[in-house]
Amino acid sequence: MKKKPWQRHGSADADPAARKERPRSYHAEDEQDSGGQDWVYGLHAVEAVLKHNADSIQQLLVLQGRSDQRVLPLLERATRLNISIREVERTELDELVGGVHQGVAALCPGLKLERSEGFLEQLLQGLQHPPLLLVLDGVTDPHNLGACLRTAEAAGVDAVIVPKDKSALITPSVRKVACGAAESVPFIAVTNLARTLKMLQDDHRIWVMGAAGEAEQSIYTTDLKGPLALVLGSEGKGMRRLTREHCDNVFSIPMAGEVSSLNVSVSAGVCLFEAVRQRK
């Protein structure tokens, strides 16, 4: 049988030992098995799983006949890591993943990316620079969460923190929108957000700064240098009362038009990159 282009390219390295011996990131080492099966789909999302959590991939599906320059590197890497690749028709892929898959999907049993408060403590203790954290209080829309993760990764955020309850968590849709950021940015789901904010302040001397539309102080006159946790609330209600009470200061984004508020992912971009500008 004639080999596929990616099989010819990667066949020299495609042996079981290659998969066992490859290095694993701290994301993979901290993985917890939920006992279920998850599909990761979309070119960027699958590429990120191959890079950070390849051990979790049970099988890689690719649209039948697709071997163009966008998907070929993924298939070659999977072959080198001895990951099973199966070509399927579009109807089967559509039924399996239920989303815009771009012709590729990875089956990852029990892949879980949410981290705990203990992981956050270890992360902060190991940083060699002033931390930059993004805290999302009550963001329930998966697309907004995915977009925030993508923005956070681009801004160099050390971790994204959310409450476990009344918040979106990592799903296939979030991974797709995040374009790989869900695998590369530590995502911390905490039991008590107010308690976590106090821990950041008391134990790590991190300034907790919240975005609030009614705040008189502008983000552009707010000092965002040094150890920092930026807090954003939901689009409708903003930060919860207890979350706001734990902020050291609040600021607003000046709005020149008639629109009263921005999408939370847009607000995250404005706030994070203003912090990046000041810190540089």
- Same-domain status, 148 and 266: yes
Domain boundary among 69, 92, 109: 109
Look at residue 91 in the predicted model and tell me its pLDDT: 86
Report, as an integer, the average pLDDT of 12-33: 36
Instruction: Please give the full DSSP string across 195-253, using - where no structure is assigned.
Output: HHHHHHHHHH--EEEEE-TT-SSBGGGS---SSEEEEEEBTTTBS-HHHHHT-SEEEB-
Residue 19 scores a pLDDT above 70: no
- Same-domain status, 50 and 124: no
Report, as an integer, the average pLDDT of 183-206: 94
- Same-domain status, 54 and 141: no
Find out whether 105 and 39 touch, Cβ atoms under 8 Å: yes
- Same-domain status, 104 and 186: no
**At which residue do the structure tokens 């990131």 appear?**
25
Residue 132 scores a pLDDT above 90: yes
Residue of 110 and 41 predicted with greater confidence: 41
* 60-64, 115-119, 172-176, 202-206: the lowest-pLDDT one: 172-176
- Same-domain status, 62 and 138: no
- Same-domain status, 148 and 105: no
Residue of 152 and 50 predicted with greater confidence: 152
Taking all residues of the chain, what is their mean pLDDT, rounded to a whole number? 83
Kindly indicate the confidence band of residue 7, based on its pLDDT and cuts at 50, 70 and 90.
low
Residue 14 scores a pLDDT above 50: no
Kindly indicate the confidence band of residue 142, based on its pLDDT and cuts at 50, 70 and 90.
very high
Look at residue 13 in the predicted model and tell me its pLDDT: 42
Domain boundary among 79, 109, 139: 109
Distance CA 95, CA 153 (A): 31
- Same-domain status, 23 and 139: no
Count the neighbouring beta carbons within 10 Å of the beta carbon of residue 125. 9
* 26-35, 44-53, 159-168: the lowest-pLDDT one: 26-35
- Same-domain status, 164 and 255: yes
The domain that holds 198 is classified in CATH as 3.40.1280.10
- Same-domain status, 39 and 123: no
- Same-domain status, 83 and 100: yes
The domain that holds 42 is classified in CATH as 3.30.1330.30
- Same-domain status, 151 and 269: yes
Mutual angle of helices 142-155 and 264-279, in 10-degree steps = 10
Q: Which domain holds residue 63?
A: 5-109
Give the total number of structural domains in the chain: 2
Kindly indicate the confidence band of residue 40, based on its pLDDT and cuts at 50, 70 and 90.
confident
* 110-114, 171-175, 244-248: the lowest-pLDDT one: 110-114
- Same-domain status, 147 and 223: yes
Domain boundary among 90, 109, 128: 109
